[in-house]
Structures are given as structure tokens and as C-alpha cells.
Structure 1
Amino acid sequence: MAYIKLLRPKHWAKNLFLFIPLFFAGEFLNFEKISQILLGFIAFSAIASSIYILNDYRDIEDDRKHPKKKFRPLASGAVSKPAALVIAAILIVGGFGLAYFIRDKFMFVLGIYFFINVGYSFGLKNVAILDIILLAAGFVLRVKGGSVISNIALSEWIVIMVFLLAVFMALGKRRDDVILKINSGVDMRKSIKGYNLELLNSLLALICAVIVVAYFMYTMSPETMTKLGTHRLYYTCLFVMAGLMRYLQIIFVQADSGSPTKILYKDLFIQIVLILWIASFAAIIYIKDFSFFE
């Protein structure tokens, strides 16, 4: 069980961003491309897990001070350091091997993701602001990976929105770290010295507003209407705003924004909103003649 936990399989949900180009291009029923991206999902998950292992290896001492991270396999001693490094090496070789089999350009994108995150684990995460930007870049590279595999060109709006959403979630996580520091008096990560609640609250409000505006502009842009053959995507803005407001509620009211992945798995409101957004978006794209949208 400890070895499975070491891989952090719950975080593989982030790699679903690989499917975004297919979804937004209206090709989510193209099963040949879906099968290719599924292989890409496996390769990305292997590389991501290897990075989690390297990150945990580097952060053993810091994680032991954290109220939740101290239970991680390496920090708790459930998995030895040599065993963890061997598993990481196997994942790296397997992940890049599969990526090359899928497409050499995808392996290149995955390589950029890997080296950015290695740099993050080995010191860049200690630089405030830069740490958030690098985390957000990882999500953009996931979307780019899906674009390369499926040979679907990415809209600038999709890249912008994915980046902003990732920044938004990372800011919420950093705010949680600042609150832990205030309550415990211990820096949970070195970059926290560059943040305080006032800065993070301001940035959260700013990024949230930009995300809403960007999404509205995407749904109503002539390029999107022409490409997808519909002008009704603005209906889905309701669910985007509801999801963002719920996340802000979790951050400011419940003060529980430590893990966006955990929120996705456990918060029923966000799950329902996400399902409704996907369903409405898919219906508008794939069932254009449905009378409901007249």
C-alpha cells in the first residue's frame, strides 16, 4: 500500500488535461484519438509519479514538519530511499519509452515537463511567484501534449484559461500554507516567506476575475463560433462562475484549500458543477440541432 501511495495515483487526475484539446475541438467521439491519448495519459502519469518521488525524496525533512505530509511513505519511513529511487528510475524509462512509441514530439513535450519539474523539485520551488508559474506551466504542457498526440491545434484562449486556472488553484494552495505557518509558526516551504494573506487574497481575486472574462471572451469569439459551429457556448459560463465561487468559498470560508485534487474528489458541489459544465458544453457542441438550444 505504501508503494502505491508513493506514486500518488490520486494526482493522475491532473493528466486528464491531455483530453482537453479533443473535447474543445468537438472530436471527443474520435475513438482512435482517444486511445492514443489514453496511452499518453499512462506515460504522463508515469513521469509525474517519478517526479513526485524525487520531490518527496528531497523534502523528507520538511515533510516531517507538516501535519499532513509527514504521513507520506518516504517521510514516515514506510518506503526506503533506495527503493524509491529504483521505482523512480523505472517510471522514467517506461514513461519516456511509451511517449516515444506514441510520437516523438510528445516525448519532447513530456521531456520539457520533466526537466521543469526536476528544476522545481531541486530548488526553483523555493522562489516565490516562480513556483506558482512553474506549476501552472505543467498544466499547459499537459494540454499541449494532448494537442500533439491528437494533432489538434490549440486555441490561444484554451492555453490562457488553463494557465490562469492552474495559477488560481496554486494560489489557493499557497494560502493554505500561509495559514499553516500562522498557526504553527513553522515555514512549510521556503517560498512561503515571499507570500502573505494580503498578497494572496489580492491575487486570488485578480486571477478569478481574469478567468471569468477570458472564458466569456472565448465562448463569444468569432473564431470559436466558426470552428465549433455554434454561438451558444456562453450558456456554460454559469457553471464556470459557480465552480470558481465554490472554490473561493472553500478557500475563504472553510479554509481548506491545501489540495485542489482532494477538493475535486471530495466536494460534491464542484463535482456536480463540473459534470453539468461538461454535459452542457458537450450537448451544445455535439447536438447542435437539439431544440432546447434554439
Structure 2
Amino acid sequence: MYVVQLRPRQWTKNLLVFAALIFSIQKATMDMLMHSVVGFLLFCFVSSCVYILNDFVDREADRQHPEKRHRPMASGAIPAQGALMLGAVLLTGSLATAYVLSPVFGLLLTVYFVLNVAYSFKLKHVVIVDVLIVASGFVLRAIGGGLVIGVALTPWFLICTLLLSIFLAISKRRHEVYALQHDSGSHRKVLESYSIDLLNQLNSIVTTATIMSYALFTFTSGHTVHLMWTLAFVIYGVFRYLYLIHMEDKGGKPEKVLFEDRHLLVTVMLYAFSVALILIYLE
């Protein structure tokens, strides 16, 4: 159950660390690949520490949630003290390794953890801010991926990452509000400040901004303009996710949706493959 507590299924979010490596594939080396793998694992371990802390803080509220009540601490499957001890060991080892790998990367990983601690104790109760904090975690992952291999990411790429992350965070909130309906406040007070109409409106704004920003990125990234062909995968992927949200009431767990929906998974794989192919042969 301790492995379940680490939420390994959510480690897929940390695959964003490899984005910098993919967009630098022309000059990629085995050392860069190894550094990216280490960076990915360190983000996995530190994010698991955040999950442990978050589940510890929310264990009483989670018992009222139709799905989250099955989590190890909420269900009583593992003692809270044991989970916290595991988290302390993982955090210490991960941060120490990160600072050895790169002091700047270690600092970023520390900021990531502190920001998420602030989220667990306070910021997740602040409307709108809670969504932005969740989204910022993805941006830090993208930046971290660049730091571990010594590659700078373009501002447009970071903006695209931020907007897509906000899109996923808003979709997650929408699913929570929809699933819990009028009893949403009994699980998390901040959900009372949201409505389906508001979240739909926010998603419309972010969806438009995401597609436009990515289109601009393909022309201003300093790479070949042939990257613009990958815009088709981005548009379809976003539209497919909107379909899953509005027509199949999904979106509560983005990492689960990715692996359960074959269309979305194939789209992501084709996007990564096409980017690599274009940068290698058409750059």
C-alpha cells in the first residue's frame, strides 16, 4: 500500500521533463538522456512526497469523497506517521541528489516542493489561485527538464505549457464540481466558489489562447517552420479532451484519461514522433 500512496500512476505528469530533450534532439547525447531520466525520477519522488503531505492534510475530507476515500491514508490502510516518514526519507534523498546534479535544478525542485506545500496548507482554498498553482507545477517541470541538460527553453514554449496546464487544471475542477454536485463544499470549501458555467467560460478562453500560442511558437521558436504541421495534433488533442470533458464527464484525472482514451494517447505519441522527425530531418 505504500507504493500506492506514492501514486505512481500520476508520474506520467513528470514526462514533461523530457520536452526539452525532444526539442533539442539534434544535439542530444547519451549524457543528456541520462540526466533527463534522473530529473524525471527526482520529480516523481518529490511529487510523491507532495501527494503524501496532501493526503495527510486532506485525509478527513477525503473520507467524504466518493473516490478519494479509498486512498491509503483516508481508508486507514497505512498509518499516517509511516507515510510521513517515507516522505521525509524520499524528500531528503531526492533534494540532495538534485543539488549534486545541478545546484540550480536542486533549487527549482525545492521551490516546486515549497510551492506545493503552500498549496496543500493554504493556497488550494483560494479560488483561481488554486488552479494557477497546479498549473505552475507543470511549468516548473518543463524548466527543470531544460536545466538538467543545459538547454534554455523559449518563452513561447513556456507560455504554451502554462496555458495547457491551466486548461487541464480547470478541467479537473470542473469534473470535481460536476461529480460532487451540491455536496461539493463538504469535500473542499473552494469548490463552492466555482460553477460549471464559470469553468466552461474559463476553459474557452484558455483553449483559444493555447492553440494561438502554440501556433506562434512553431514560427518563433528558432526551429524550422515545418513545426507548424504539428499544430494539427495539438488542435485535435485539445478538442478530443474537450469532448471527453463535456460528453463523457471525464477530466478529473488527466493522467488516467490519457491512458484510457486510445485516440488521445495515439495523438500524443504521433505529436512527439512528428516533432522529433521534423527536427531531425527538416531542421
TM-score band w.r.t. shorter chain? over 0.9
CA distance in 2, matches of 1:26, 1:156: 19
3-state SS of the aligned residue for 1:258? coil
Count of aligned pairs: 283
CA distance in 2, matches of 1:130, 1:197: 17
Structure 1 position 187, deviation (Å): 3.6
**CA deviation profile, 1:190-239 (whole Å, cap 9, x unmatched):** 21122101110001111001101011111122xx2xx32x2211111111
Q: Which runs of 4+ in 1 moved over 6 A?
A: none
Which is worse superposed, 38-47 or 150-159? 38-47
1:101 maps onto 2:95 in alignment: no
CA distance in 1, matches of 2:22, 2:273: 11
Name the counterpart of 1:130.
129
1:269 maps onto 2:269 in alignment: no
Report the AA paired with residue 271 of structure 1.
L
Normalised to the residue count of structure 1, the TM-score between the two structures is 0.93
CA distance in 2, matches of 1:62, 1:185: 11
Q: Tell me, which stretches of 5 or more residues in structure 2 are unaligned?
A: none
Name the counterpart of 1:170.
169
Q: Tell me, which stretches of 5 or more residues in structure 1 are unaligned?
A: 290-294
3-state SS of the aligned residue for 1:59? helix
CA distance in 1, matches of 2:3, 2:215: 41
Change beyond 3 A, Cα 1:89–1:28: farther
CA distance in 2, matches of 1:189, 1:27: 47
1:231 maps onto 2:225 in alignment: yes
Question: Does the 8 Å CA contact 2:185/2:191 hold for their aligned counterparts?
Answer: no
Structure 1 position 275, deviation (Å): 1.1
**Counterparts of residues 143-158 of structure 1 (less than 5 Å):** 143-158=142-157
Name the counterpart of 2:81.
82
Name the counterpart of 1:254.
248
Question: Does the 8 Å CA contact 2:185/2:192 hold for their aligned counterparts?
Answer: no
Q: 2:275 aligns with which of 258, 281, 285?
A: 281
Query: Over the residues paired in the alignment, what is the CA RMSD in angstroms?
Result: 1.4
Name the counterpart of 1:52.
51
Q: 2:238 aligns with which of 233, 244, 257?
A: 244
Name the counterpart of 2:219.
220
Change beyond 3 A, Cα 1:185–1:166: closer
Name the counterpart of 1:39.
38
Report the AA paired with residue 47 of structure 2.
A
Question: Does the 8 Å CA contact 2:218/2:228 hold for their aligned counterparts?
Answer: yes
CA distance in 2, matches of 1:160, 1:25: 18
Structure 1 position 183, deviation (Å): 5.7
Normalised to the residue count of structure 2, the TM-score between the two structures is 0.97
Change beyond 3 A, Cα 1:59–1:27: farther
CA distance in 1, matches of 2:240, 2:213: 19
Question: Does the 8 Å CA contact 1:236/1:277 hold for their aligned counterparts?
Answer: yes
Structure 1 position 13, deviation (Å): 1.1
